[in-house]
Amino acid sequence: MGLRYPPVYRRGTKQGEGGDRISILEISVQCEGEMPLGVYLRTRAGISAHMLRRLKAVPDGMTRNGALIRSIDAVRSGDRILLHYPEAATQTPNPALTVPVVYESAQIMVCDKPAGMPVHPSMLHRGDTLANWFAAAYPASGFHLINRLDRNTSGLCMIAKTAYAANALRGSVQKRYFALTAPGLSGKGTVDAPIGRAGDSVMTRCIRADGRAAVTHYRVIRQTPHCTLLELIPETGRTHQIRVHMAHIGFPLLGDDLYGGDCTRMQAHALHCGCLCFPEPLTGEMQTVTAPLRPEMRAILKGSL
C-alpha cells in the first residue's frame, strides 16, 4: 500500500566535507493541518527511526524552505523539506566487471548476478564482487543490498540506492528460487526444520534442534530422467537455507558439494533466484521481475550437459 499522504520526492547526491557521499532527499509535505517534522517523517514519509537519528547528527541534516529545522518543529502542506544523510562507504570500483541490469528506478535496481560472483568483498575476493561492479556502474549511489545471494547462486539481486529505499523495502520483498536436484522428488511440500552452524564451522550449516526457525516451500515443476526442476519459496532467510533443507529431505542440489549434491555435471550448486516481487519504495506499486535459468542449468534440463 502507498503512504496515506504520499510526499513528492526528488533525490540527488553531493560530497561531504570528508569526501563521503551525501544523499539528498527532497520532500514536498502533504498533510492536514500541522505536525512535528519528526512525526511526519516517521508516519507519512517512510523515514526510519535509525535514519532520523542519523539526520539529527548531520549539521545540515534537515532544512525547511532553505532554513534549518528541528524534528520537533511543525510542518504543513507545501513545505519543502531537504534531508541530507551520509551513505555507507562504497567499495573500490571495478569497471571491468559486467552484470546485467533487469530493472531500475530512481531508488532501486535489480541485476541478474552470475554464479561465481560474491556480493561483498572478502579476504579472497577483494575487487571481483557485486559491490565492486556497483561502485563503478553507480558512482553516485549508496550500496544497500536487499537480498543476499551466495557466491555460486545466480539470479536476481536487489540493491537500494539510498538508505530510505532500503528501509522502505525491509521485509517486503518476495523471493522465488529455482533449483535442480536428482530425479525422484514429486509433488509439493514444506520443510520446517531449524538451522544452525555445523559444529565449529564458519560456513557449513545443518538441521539442529537449537537452531533458528526455518521454513521452505517447494514444488516440482518438471521431471526428466536425469534431474528434477523445483520452485522454492523460503519463508525465512537463513544461511544456506534451501541447500540445507533439500539435503535434509534427501535431495541435495546438483553441484552442491558442501551438502552432498551430485557434481558430475556442474561444479556450482544449481540454485537460481528467478523472481522478485516488491513494492516500489516511493509509490507502493507492486513490481514483478524475472530472470531465466542460467545456461548450464538449462543445458542439464535439456539433457545436453
Positions marked active-site: 150
Reduce the DSSP state of residue 56 to 3 states and report it: helix
Residues facing 81 on adjacent strands: 27, 64
* Residue 48 C-beta-side C-alpha neighbours within 13 Å: 14
Length of the chain: 305
Residues facing 272 on adjacent strands: 154, 178
Backbone Cα Rg of the chain: 22
CB neighbour list of residue 210: distance below 8 Å, 6 or more residues apart: 194, 196
Phi, psi of 82 (to 5 degrees): -115, 130
Please give the C-alpha separations between residue 91 and each of 40, 79, 128, 233, in angstroms, as whole numbers: 34, 36, 11, 31
CB neighbour list of residue 254: distance below 8 Å, 6 or more residues apart: 180, 181, 182, 227, 261, 262, 263, 265, 266, 269, 270, 300
Reduce the DSSP state of residue 243 to 3 states and report it: helix
